[in-house]
Structure formats: C-alpha cells, structure tokens
Structure 1
Amino acid sequence: MREEREQQRYTFFINPVSGHGSWYRTVRIIRSFCKRNRCVPEFYFTGDDEKIQMILDEKEKEGVKVVFAVGGDGTVNQLARMLVGKEMILGIIPRGSGNGLAGHLRIPRQPRKALEMIKNAKVQEIDYAHINGIPFFTTAGIGFDAEVTRQFNQRSRRGLIGYLETILKVVQKYKPDVYSIEYDGKHKVVNAFLLTFANASEYGNGAYIAPEADTSDGLIDVCLLKPFPPTAVPGLVVRLFTKRFTKSKYVETIRARNLTVWKAKPGSLHFDGEGDSHNGKINVTSIPRKLKVMTRE
C-alpha cells in the first residue's frame, strides 16, 4: 500500500476523433509507459465543457497535479482554458492534425516520445490571449487563414497534405481587405491578406507563422500579410515551413499587449484551429503567465 501511495497519478483526456490512427492504440502506449514508470493513469473522453469541468474539479480535490490533453490544438484549448490560474499542470500528448502549441513548446509529436519527455520535463508558466472574449493559446486570426481554417475543418482529409491542398484552393480566389488597427496607443490602416495574432510561433504541421513569438513575454505577435503577386506563393509557402515567413517583404509584424481591429463587414475568425465569426470588430488581449504547462527541459 505504501508503494501505491507514492505512485504519481496522471489524468488523460482523450479526443477519440482527433488526428490519425486509433485512440485505443494511444491508450495502450500510455498504459505501457505508466507500467514501466510506476505511475497510475486515468482516462476520460473529451466532451462538453460542463462534464470536463466537473472531472477537473474532482481531480483537483483528489490532489491530481498533472492532466493531459491527448489530441490537437482544439483539445488543448478546451482543457487549457479550464486550467488557467490553477495549480494543476497541463501536459500535452499530440494527436491532432496540427499540434501547434506542442510544436512551439518542443513537445515531440509522437505520443511515445511525448510520454518519455515527462521523465525530464519542466513546468513553465505561459501566456494566453482572448479574441473577442474567446481564449486561445496558440494562434488566432482573421482574413485568409480564417477562411482556410473554415474550409479545412470541413474536409475529411486532414494532416499536412490536406492543409496544403486547402491553402492552394483558397488562395486562388481570396481577396485582401482593409483593416483599421489600434494597438497600445498607436493606429494604422492596412490592406492585408491576413492578420494572424500569435501567442505561440506555429500554426501547426510545422508552419511557423510567427517564428519570434514568445509564450511568456506578455505580447501578441501580429503578422500582417500584404497583397502579393501569384508568383510569390511558392516562396511564401517555403518561408512558412522554414521559419522565415516574417522575413518576406510582403509580411509586417507588430507586437502588442492589446489591440482592436475594425473591418468594413463581418467575416470569419479562427482560434487554435477552430472556426468562428466576427461582426467587423475584433478585440485581442494578452494575459501573461496564467497557465502551467509541462515542457521539454
């Protein structure tokens, strides 16, 4: 009985429809890891917010210190927003089609390697942000990337290939818009293809929209992609996947704690891989160091 009390308890929230492959294969990998490393796993499926909040409250009372999101950025978002300001630590086992926050935090994308990282992990307090009151932890945005997210989420084919196919489809018809931006006492009007609000550096799938973004600086990196000729598309895509996107002459970056964006008409927005809409006014606010996350040492 003494040995059992000394074992670490981990709670895993699994999104069964996230990513590729079977969720029960991931469960077998977790069980095998815990058996070898003397920890006790508990498993729950993700579901509605009320159900997850009840489980988290129960686990907090039981003294569980670490809970894991087993899924993609949407799964991470659902769990993380309930852990903001708490002592409980979020662990991430990537199993999504993007895994942007995991990529930024250098968490291995393979579940087996992500679990092995636990043994030498550190705990980091990171920022998060709101877009029109919706929490996000990786990226949010309006314009072209919001439309890509909307169409990508309607596809049956996910992953990197599906993402690239969606980009190439949307880019042929999408037109830039005029945006009025107020940030930290400054104002500018821009004609832009997209505005991405980055708390972390990566969209997901290794696409680094804001390579210099820092999840603990209290700032949002705002990436503005200006109008560009069709011949520039291949080069922009290459830059996106080689951490050189912000070096393009078509890209401008500003950093802000708070900003408000106005657009002439309503449109789509995205946050952590999920889609939504806006009425023409977009408020973005950074909230510093409110989430404890398990990261690579």
Structure 2
Amino acid sequence: MPFPKKVLLVVNPIAGDVDKTELIENIESKAKSQGFDLAVYRTDGENDRQAIEQSLQDFQPDRVLVAGGDGTINQIADILQGKPVTMGLLPLGSANGLATNLGISGDWQESVEVALGEHISCLDGMMINGHLGLHLSDLGLNARLVKNYEEGEVRGKWGYAKEVIRTLSEHDLFRVRITTDTETVETDATIVILANATMYGTGVVINPEGNLCDGKFEVIVATRFDIIELAKLIAGATELDPEVVRTFCTTHAEIECLEQQALFQIDGEFMGPVDRVKAHILPNMLSVAVPAVTEGVK
C-alpha cells in the first residue's frame, strides 16, 4: 500500500494519563516532511462519534491513527468497519490488548512509524450483544478480575497482582449452555472466553490457535476450578485436559447462563452481569497497519 496522503489523527487526551503534545507535534512534523495532509481530532466524550464521522466525510482520509486505549480503538474501529480506510494504532492505554496481539510497541515513537507504514493486515471483529469486540471477551473469572481492578485503589502491576489474589478467592462456578456452529454443550464453568485473538493485553497467551483474520473465533471454557489446568491455560499451553478446558472454533456462539447471571467484559471493559451472550464474527471488517514481522498476523 502506498504511503498515506491524508491522515486523520484521533487523540484521547486522558488515555494513559500522559501528555500527548510531543506525539502530536511529532506527527505534524512528519506531515510536513513527508508531504501528507493531517487533521487532528481530540475526543472529549461529547458527540465524538458524530464528529469523527463528519471528519471522515469532509476530510476523506486514507489512514486514521488512533492514540488511546482499547476503548478508543474499539470506538474508531466500529466507525471505520467496512470503509476503505486503514487504521493505525498508537497504544496509550493501560492494557492495549489489540496492539499487544498485533506486535505493536508501547513506545509511541515506534508505533508512529508502524501506524504510518506500508505493512497492512486484515482484522476480524466480533459483534457481541450489540457491542464490537476485537480481541478477548469473557464471562466469569476474568470479568470479575476486571471489575475488581476497576474498583481497586492500587494501579499498575501491584494493583493487578493484588486483585488476582482477591479474585481467585471469590471464584465460583456457573452453569452454561454453549451453542456453536456445530454443537450444543451444557456444563459448569469458571470462565468462558470469546477469543478472536491469542492473548490478553498483559501478554498472557490464552488462545494459542487464535487468528485475527481467519473468519472464525474460539470459545474456550474451563469447566471447573482446577488450578493446574488454569495455570497451563494462562501460560498458553496447548496440551490441556479436555475434561477441564474445552475449545470450540466457530463463527457464531450463544452462551446462556442457566441458574445465575455471570459477570461479563469485552476487551477489558466491564459490562456487568448478564444471563445471555450472543456473538458472531465480522470477517475482514477492517485493515490495520502492523509491523513488518506481523504482516498477515495470526
């Protein structure tokens, strides 16, 4: 793909709690030296979708750079799906799940080079209960961890480790019926994962067979709290006890909570308790700039 001629930079000013001035100035300098037109939009939480859609219509960029966390990236991906525009990621959030899966550095200077570069990959999405999901969503154990971390007072790795211990002590089983393209299964579960990608933003590989642009996603269910198998799952092991961890590859899935609601999160955003989740794949919904080594990334 040729170098972009028109670039829209969407910046979330509060993402990552860092000043974005240097980043914006760097991209403005590149626009002057490399000869592309640049427009900058700063989100403010007030009618951002309408304003960005208007910018796309008026400016007609061929590349949209997104400086923010997974929430901002999901919002822009939802706007861009199906449009002939490539998205470039400048990950500035706390987890940066999609960027991690694409091998995009958390160093903004490196990510700018990738976001403006010529290496492009397709990206599937998942429509989950009416919301766009790009990498990993789940019911149960990890969703409780997301909730606990959001409510906790300590940030960073220490805060996360603290909430892992707390979450494991609070775990419980819930009964689900899982329907995929090929089968229906009823089972107890401690976690049910809808996985388009391979890993969480922390770098933990949860779905070694995941592929971001194969037109399918995986449903992974741990049927009981087995600390050894959960540790193997978290470590990215491929040889798991089928009596504890099961994986289904599919294009559609429905998870029904049969006896009680389960906590649910989409790409790191806590969505609250649910009694049913419906998901389907959105194949090749978007093109995204990637590092050369991950072009055509799994």
Give TM-score scaled by structure 1 length. 0.86
Letter paired with 1:69 = V
2:281 to 274, 281, 286: 286
Structure 1: 5+ residue runs without aligned partners? Answer: 1-5
Task: In structure 2, list runs of 5 or more residues that go unmatched.
Answer: 293-298
Please tell me the root mean square deviation across aligned C-alpha atoms, in Å: 2.5
1:247 aligns with 2:247: no
Q: 1:168 to 1:117 in 2, by over 3 A?
A: same
How far has the Cα of 1:11 moved from its partner? 1.6
Residue 258 of structure 1 corresponds to which residue in structure 2?
252
Give the aligned partner of residue 3 of structure 1: none
Query: What is the total number of aligned residue pairs between the two structures?
Result: 287
Equivalent residue in structure 1 for 2:178, among 151, 171, 181: 181
- Partner residue in 1 for 2:89: 92
Instruction: String of CA shifts for 1:29-59, please: whole Å, max 9, x gaps.
Output: 4345445544444322224473333333333
The match for 1:116 is 113
Q: Distance in 2 between matches of 1:47 and 1:116?
A: 26
- Please give the alpha-carbon distance, in whole angstroms, between the structure 2 residues aligned to 1:79 and 1:120: 19
1:58/1:29 CA distance change after superposition, 3 Å: closer
Q: Indicate the percent of aligned positions where both proteins have the same amino acid.
A: 24
Shifted more, 39-48 versus 182-191: the winner is: 39-48
Secondary structure of residue in 2 paired with 1:116: helix
Q: Which amino acid aligns with 2:163?
A: T
Paired amino acid for 1:271: I
| Inter-partner Cα distance in structure 1 for 2:37 and 2:160 | 37
Letter in 2 for 1:211: P
CA contact (8 A) 2:117 2:289 kept: no
Deviation at 1:271, TM superposition (A): 0.6
TM-score normalised per structure 2: 0.86
User: Of the candidates 63, 69, 72, which is equivalent to residue 69 of structure 2?
Assistant: 72
The 8 Å contact of residues 13 and 67 in structure 1, kept in 2 or not, is answered as yes
* AA aligned opposite 1:184: D
SS in 1 for 2:211: coil
Mapped contact 2:128–2:280 kept (Cα < 8 A): yes
Cα-to-partner distance string for 1:162-194 (whole Å, 9 max, x where unaligned): 333322221112112121111114111222210
Q: Is this contact kept in 2: 1:209–1:246, CA < 8 A?
A: no
Give me the whole-angstrom Cα distance separating, in 1, the residues matched to 2:158 and 2:28: 31
Aligned to 2:295: none
> What is the DSSP-based 3-state SS (H/G/I as helix, E as strand, rest coil) of the residue aligned with 2:23?
helix
Larger displacement relative to structure 2 (161-170 or 171-180):
161-170
Instruction: Write the letter of the residue equivalent to 1:247.
Output: E
2:169 aligned with 1:172: yes
* Secondary structure, counterpart of 1:206 in structure 2: coil
Q: d(CA) in 2 for partners of 1:207 and 1:7?
A: 33
